[in-house]
Amino acid sequence: MKILDRYILLEWIKIFAIALGVTLGILVMHDMYGNLGHLIEWGTSTEQILLYYVLFIPTLIPLVLPISLLLSLIYLLGSLHRNNEITAMRASGMNVFRITRSLWIVGFLLSILMLWLTASVIPQAKQDSRLIYESARFADQLKTTDASRVGLVPQLGFNNRRDGRLWYMNSFSQVTNRAHGVSISVLDKEGREASRIMAREGVYDDVDKCWYFLDGHVSVLNPETRRTISAKGFEKLYFRDFKENPKIMVLSMKNPKDLSLFETKLLIDALHDDSAPESLPYLVRWYSIWASSFVCIIVVAIAIPFSVSGVRTNPMVGVSKTVGLFFLYYIIDSILTAMGGRGIISPLAAAVIPNAAMLVFALSLYRKAI
């Protein structure tokens, strides 16, 4: 590595470390403001609280890493610009790529790191940190509340398109796997209601991996007229073929952005039909997680041309343009995510287009800067 490359790389590392520490610290403090008080109030041990934040910090990397990289690049290149060092380098015959090639290597390596973390570390850390938080909340509720009322999910619904069953529950306890006010519509091949199960309670049996219901009745309907043909009451009745996992049902009610990579994949597999409306938001999330791994390369491609603009231009102009461009990127990404979730465009296109468009635009600016 040449002296110039080492110089630029070492200067960048200093700034990046500060930017990463500050950005990470702000986000951790924000979480502490919202959750630390609850954990202490629930009687969580110091070891569990520390473990929670050890696991929580990696989940911030997809957000913190690109922001820290952007801030560090803008500051470094702006400083070189302000001190006329870039002018001196270019006067000696170096082009922009020669000056910034170490930064391109950094962007590529950080993208590979993001890809590895996204595929392995971050999903598990996100699930484990959430488990610690929810376990502490449930344990506190158990001190004053009946187990059946702990970890309640209100108005839980799930559409099992593969088996033709439409579920609705007034409430479901994640601790006891017990639902209250259950209604299940069993559909025929044409999507018409053929029978209906209604019960006061429904319980998922962890041993037999199926559902049984208490104090209810089964109605057989005419799919064409929707009229009841027969009805039979029961006190307790097992449905051995009702294999729906309540964990999947609860995940389906969460915002896709709150799910880890593993949870998103688990839910997509459980829904079975990629073209189903319920699957689309999670498919967009799945592709977006992978596409966002390469955002570090886009950051480098955008920061360099704006930061090394001509000496007659105030460096802050380039900074403002860079920040504004990334703000525009997130707006476009949000719009396309919504469109992909509604089936207006394909989920893959919704995830890839914002990154691809930004990269093409950035490379065109970079070409002009060279």
Domain chopping of the chain, boundaries:
3-142+282-369, 164-240
Token pair 């158990």: residue:
142
Query: In terms of C-beta distances under 8 Å and separation of at least 24 residues, what long-range contacts does 95-101 make, across chains too?
Result: 95/370, 96/304, 96/305, 96/308, 96/366, 96/369, 96/370, 97/370, 99/4, 99/8, 99/308, 100/8, 100/300, 100/304, 100/308, 101/5
List of residues 6+ apart from 189 with CB closer than 8 A: 164
Question: Taking each helix axis from N to C terminus, what angle separates 295-307 and 61-82, rounded to the nearest 10 degrees?
Answer: 20
Look at the pTM and tell me if it is higher than 0.85.
Answer: no
| Inter-residue contact 257 to 284 (CB < 8 Å) | no
Question: Residue 203 has what pLDDT?
Answer: 94
| The two three-digit tokens of residue 278, written as one number | 């319920």
Given the structure tokens 């999507």, which residue do they identify? 191
CA 291 to chain centre: 12
d(CA 227, CA 219): 10
Closest CA to 301 of 241, 252, 357, 223: 357
Provide the angle, in degrees to the nearest 10, between the axes of the packed helices 46-59 and 122-144.
Answer: 140
Coil vs helix vs strand at 275: coil
CATH superfamily of 164-240: Lipopolysaccharide (LPS) transport protein A like domain (2.60.450.10)
State how far Cα 277 lies from the chain centre. 19
Taking the C-alpha atoms of residue 351 and residue 62, their distance in angstroms, rounded to an integer, is: 15
What is the H or E stretch that residue 274 is in?
Answer: none
What digits encode the pLDDT tens for the residues 112-168? 999 899 888 999 999 999 999 999 988 888 888 877 778 888 899 998 888 899 999
pLDDT by residue, tens only, the chain of 370 residues: 588 888 889 999 999 999 999 999 999 999 999 899 999 999 989 999 999 999 999 999 988 998 899 888 888 888 887 788 887 888 888 877 888 889 999 999 999 999 899 888 999 999 999 999 999 988 888 888 877 778 888 899 998 888 899 999 999 998 889 999 999 999 998 889 999 999 999 999 999 999 999 999 999 999 888 888 999 999 999 999 999 999 999 988 888 888 888 888 888 888 877 777 888 899 998 998 888 888 888 888 888 887 766 544 555 565 677 777 778 888 888 899 999 988 899 999 999 998 888 888 878 877 776 6
